[in-house]
């Protein structure tokens, strides 16, 4: 025995001596240099691929990011879906938001614990019922875009629920929402500055468009950011010093975008939530409603002016165009009133019209018929009702975002990447936070965010 252990002992002693001689900073420096070299190599490779293969580089970059995050903590992959909502850039039939959400759904499915997510299951069943009722539309309208959109909506609803639940359950609710809000602050201030430049140079003010970001997209994502900062449930541990600047930046960006549906969604949400109890951030918006009156005045006056122009024969403004599109949507719906003509029918050659109806009801009627429209109401209104019946300290935030998105969808496009996913992601998130708190056996709302030290390895079970 002594002969066998002596070489090992000698080697261990020599390694220990080397560690004493080696400066302490050498290991850290070497690791930093090696990591930097690898990052530079990956960046150079992605740059070459981007020049050679275009959007494929974006997909590869997302894959590299997902692998890197998964190597440290697999629950970080779903977390990235929250800031990715702000990246609607197209990469083929899907957007970058879709790719990150799909990448986050697989680990979320693996980390999902059915025994701890009983409240989440009612929302998942709503999503399953919605998807099932659309199957006749798939069968009667067999084309690729129809099937792609069906799967797309499944990931936005059911995938969003799973992603949000895992993020909340494993203690990343506050970081995920902070990343989203910091992105909103950047977009809001950028839009406000561009609006100021427009006013200074052109002596006129109009809706602000940013690269790859439509004015209505800007307004809608900032409306969500404003509402999240306004609600700020106590378990997020956010102070007013953090929330108020975020709300101001989002408000400035919404004003610069001129997005009327964003303004209306914020006003409706604040009004409804101010009537609920003060738990979970509700009940505190009565004074804020007065500050929203100028926005409502702007919406009313601009809409009245455009409708007056429509009566005078002007068809080249947003309200007039919507009236024309609504009428054309009804004509298309009459082709198949029960099951519709198929999802994404505007991507096909069957109709001369090529537009996505700027209203959720008209889109569902033309795409999925009466059956699909009923399924849509069951999903949205059923989900809103279920959120309102949750414990207010958790459910109020989810209900507010669901209500805001449903309101936006009556005034513009509904099924859009990111915009239609984040309400369900937040539903899952608040229920994941609730499951985490219950698991910690307190069964109460903590005043701050709980640091989940033992949850950093999510695959470990009790």
Is residue 313 situated within a structural domain? yes
pLDDT digits (tens, 9 = 90+) for 303-325: 777 777 767 766 677 777 888 89
pLDDT digits (tens, 9 = 90+) for 117-158: 889 999 999 999 999 999 999 999 999 999 999 999 999 999
Residue 140 confidence (pLDDT): 94
Q: With 50 as the cut, is the pLDDT of residue 2 above it?
A: no
Is residue 168 situated within a structural domain? yes
Q: With 70 as the cut, is the pLDDT of residue 5 above it?
A: no
The residue ranking higher by pLDDT, 368 or 443, is: 368
pTM for this prediction: 0.80
Residue 221 confidence (pLDDT): 96
Residue 277 confidence (pLDDT): 64
Is residue 147 situated within a structural domain? yes
Is residue 358 situated within a structural domain? yes
Q: With 50 as the cut, is the pLDDT of residue 6 above it?
A: no
| Residue 277: domain span | 105-455
Phi-psi region of 443 (alpha: psi -120 to 50; beta: other; left: phi over 0): left
Is residue 28 situated within a structural domain? no
pLDDT band at 18 (very low <50, low <70, confident <90, very high): very low
pLDDT digits (tens, 9 = 90+) for 343-362: 999 988 888 888 899 999 99
Residue 455 confidence (pLDDT): 38
Q: With 90 as the cut, is the pLDDT of residue 372 above it?
A: yes
Residue 37 confidence (pLDDT): 59
The residue ranking higher by pLDDT, 454 or 175, is: 175
Residue 17 confidence (pLDDT): 52
Q: 10: burial class by Cβ within 10 Å (0-12, 13-18, 19+)?
A: exposed
Is residue 130 situated within a structural domain? yes
pLDDT digits (tens, 9 = 90+) for 265-289: 999 999 888 887 666 555 566 667 7
pLDDT digits (tens, 9 = 90+) for 198-249: 988 887 778 888 988 989 999 999 999 999 999 999 899 999 999 999 999 9
Highest mean pLDDT among 32-46, 84-98, 283-297, 421-435: 421-435
Computed on alpha carbons and rounded to an integer, the radius of gyration of the chain in Å comes to 25
Structural domains of the chain, count: 1
The residue ranking higher by pLDDT, 90 or 37, is: 90
Residue 285 confidence (pLDDT): 63
Residue 235 near residue 433, CB atoms below 8 Å:
yes
Is residue 9 situated within a structural domain? no
pLDDT band at 252 (very low <50, low <70, confident <90, very high): very high
Is residue 133 situated within a structural domain? yes
Residue 243 confidence (pLDDT): 93
Residue 349 confidence (pLDDT): 86
């Amino acid at each position: 025995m002594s002969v066998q252990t002596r070489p090992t002992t000698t080697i261990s002693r020599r390694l220990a001596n080397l560690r004493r001689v080696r400066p302490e900073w050498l290991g850290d420096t070497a690791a930093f240099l090696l990591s930097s070299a690898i990052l530079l190599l990956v960046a150079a490779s992605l740059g070459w691929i981007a020049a050679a293969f275009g959007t494929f580089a974006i997909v590869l970059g997302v894959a590299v990011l997902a692998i890197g995050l998964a190597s440290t903590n697999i629950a970080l992959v779903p977390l990235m879906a929250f800031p990715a909502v702000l990246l609607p850039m197209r990469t083929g039939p899907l957007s970058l938001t879709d790719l990150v959400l799909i990448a986050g759904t697989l680990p979320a499915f693996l980390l999902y614990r059915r025994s701890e997510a009983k409240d989440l299951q009612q929302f998942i069943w709503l999503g399953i019922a919605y998807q099932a009722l659309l199957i006749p539309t798939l069968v009667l309208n067999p084309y690729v875009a129809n099937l792609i959109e069906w799967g797309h909506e499944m990931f936005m609803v059911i995938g969003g629920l799973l992603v949000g639940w895992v993020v909340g359950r494993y203690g990343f609710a506050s970081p995920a929402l902070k990343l989203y809000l910091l992105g909103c602050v950047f977009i809001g201030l950028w839009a406000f500055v561009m609006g100021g430049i427009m006013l200074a140079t052109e002596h006129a003010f109009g809706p602000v468009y940013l690269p790859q970001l439509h004015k209505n997209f800007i307004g809608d994502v900032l409306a969500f950011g404003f509402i999240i900062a306004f609600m700020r449930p106590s378990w997020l541990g956010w102070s007013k010093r953090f929330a108020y600047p975020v709300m101001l930046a989002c408000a400035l960006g919404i004003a610069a975008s001129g997005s009327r549906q964003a303004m209306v969604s914020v006003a409706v949400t604040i009004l409804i939530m101010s009537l609920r109890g003060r738990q979970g951030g509700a009940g505190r918006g009565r004074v804020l409603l007065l500050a929203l009156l100028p926005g409502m005045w702007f919406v009313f006056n601009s809409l009245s002016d455009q409708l007056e122009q429509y009566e005078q024969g002007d068809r080249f403004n947003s309200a007039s165009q919507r009236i024309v599109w609504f009428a054309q949507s009804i004509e298309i719906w009459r082709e198949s009133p029960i099951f519709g003509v198929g999802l994404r029918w505007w991507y096909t050659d069957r109709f001369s019209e090529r537009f996505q109806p700027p209203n959720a009801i008209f889109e569902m009627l033309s795409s999925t018929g009466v059956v699909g429209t009923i399924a849509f109401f069951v999903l949205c209104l059923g989900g809103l009702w279920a959120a309102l019946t949750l414990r207010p300290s958790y459910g109020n935030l989810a209900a507010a975002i669901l209500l805001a998105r449903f309101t936006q969808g009556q005034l513009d496009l509904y099924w859009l990447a990111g915009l239609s996913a984040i309400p369900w992601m937040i539903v899952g998130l608040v229920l994941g936070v609730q499951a985490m708190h219950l698991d910690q056996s307190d069964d109460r709302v903590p005043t701050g965010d709980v640091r989940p030290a033992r949850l950093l390895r999510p695959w470990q079970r009790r």
